[in-house]
Structure 1
């Protein structure tokens, strides 16, 4: 049976299995690839109202609150993850609510930054989710998210032990793909990089960053074999965008191109008659 979204992590023992993988140090690709790229793109945090879609255990919420953000709200569809997030945020101004990404809504202009880490590939309609983000953001607000790289969502193998090869197939066929993840079947939605950028800009954002989260050597603590393995294939895609500032007028329309005129040769001149 294939399970999608937050409910996947509510199976007995699966949330703990995932969190052990997610925070697994050098053995976690999130730690050595996705996390440093994400932190690079966060920018200044003081005073920001932050919404985290698919927050998991809200580990990044503590980072944001320690960095001075004004508020942090994490949403997740998994009861297990919401419980873990509530425990992690205890004693802070952050809070967490149980909700699926597809169902979230907020009053216009409620947030300054929307983030999502490794959750939007569970969502069938990325454009609708990003449009909801745009409505929830104040003018000039930003969105920053990471997803499984399309090389990964277009590849499905069930190897025993660590992968040694990756076969990409049906890359330009978007849609749901059943995958083996944490020992069970799950549905991820495959989209090319081009399609994801189009969804971002179609929701009204200007693209500000596109990164493939190359491994960071300093995070491997001298483990050259693992560094070499992580350099073989991209695992993550990061995209960021910004809404227009309300005070900034839209650019003037481009001038119309000059009318096309067919070039014709002048009529041949006949020599004067004698």
Structure 2
């Protein structure tokens, strides 16, 4: 069964409040990294997998993309997108990414921001993405770094008696599969994969890997969110850019 934590009222309220604050790891680390890998949006058709509230879809249109299709499993997120980030050249679809079926459609750019670690069948996803891209089309996606998802307890900072962070504990790295954690609610499920599995999956699916980023914060993030300096000690995210061969 595909997970839909974003329609949980408690999760949705707390997550939306966090994102709307503008002071998050997304704002200062992950989104700048994804945007830095986009060669151009002008005249491009874009598919946004896990589009959330649609702010990235709107960013694409504001930067002269021709059209955007945003897909998300959460009806609450899609409803918010249709209110806050609607445009005549954006279409939102409420469905799991795994169930997406767009016969005869092709895109210049497929983006996925922090959604793929929720997908159980990584090879099947890559096959779907490959089929939806134009020749020389780009696939850019971010996910939680395998260093973050590896340890089964997903409680990795080792602290002293005063709560100071001493070091990051890494364990269970090569034991891939389901991880479960508490994040606003209990039972949030993610799927851990090693870096080599992520890279080899892209190669085996027919992609050429152009760049991989393990991003740190942009300067303003360190000013507004001092704890983000810990990104220098271990990365929260990994971002891939791949193309059709």
Q: Which of these residues, 93, 100, 106, is aligned with residue 102 of structure 2?
A: 106
Give the TM-score, by structure 1 length: 0.81
Is the CA contact (8 Å cut-off) linking 1:208 and 1:241 kept in structure 2? yes
Distance 1:99 1:64 in 2: 21
1:218-257 per-position Cα deviation (integer Å, ceiling 9, x unaligned): 333365x42433322210010110012xxxxxxxxxxxxx
Q: Which residue of 2 aligns with 1:55?
A: 51
Q: Which of these residues, 216, 219, 222, is aligned with residue 221 of structure 2?
A: 219
CA RMSD between the two structures: 2.2
Q: Which residue of 2 aligns with 1:65?
A: 61
Is the CA contact (8 Å cut-off) linking 1:4 and 1:186 kept in structure 2? no
Distance 2:216 2:222 in 1: 13
Mapped pair 1:120 → 2:116: yes
Task: Tell me how far 1:25 sits from its aligned partner.
Answer: 3.0
Matched residues, number: 238
Distance 1:158 1:198 in 2: 26
- Gaps (5+ residues) in structure 2? 158-162
C-alpha change, 1:175 and 1:37, in structure 2 (3 Å) is: same
Mapped pair 1:90 → 2:94: no
Q: Which residue of 1 aligns with 2:18?
A: 21
- Gaps (5+ residues) in structure 1? 245-274
C-alpha change, 1:79 and 1:85, in structure 2 (3 Å) is: same
List aligned pairs for 1:52-201, cutoff 5 A: 52-155=48-151, 156-157=154-155, 164=165, 165-201=167-203
C-alpha change, 1:114 and 1:91, in structure 2 (3 Å) is: closer
Task: Tell me how far 1:168 sits from its aligned partner.
Answer: 1.6
Distance 1:22 1:167 in 2: 28
Q: Which residue of 2 aligns with 1:262?
A: none
Which protein has the bigger strand share?
A: 2
Q: Which 10-residue stretch deviates more, 57-66 or 102-111?
A: 102-111
Distance 1:214 1:119 in 2: 19
Is the CA contact (8 Å cut-off) linking 1:214 and 1:234 kept in structure 2? yes
Instruction: Compare CA radii of gyration and give the structure with the larger one.
Output: 1
Is the CA contact (8 Å cut-off) linking 1:217 and 1:227 kept in structure 2? no
Give the TM-score, by structure 2 length: 0.90
Task: Tell me how far 1:23 sits from its aligned partner.
Answer: 4.0
Q: Which residue of 2 aligns with 1:243?
A: 244
Task: Tell me how far 1:109 sits from its aligned partner.
Answer: 5.0
C-alpha change, 1:110 and 1:229, in structure 2 (3 Å) is: same
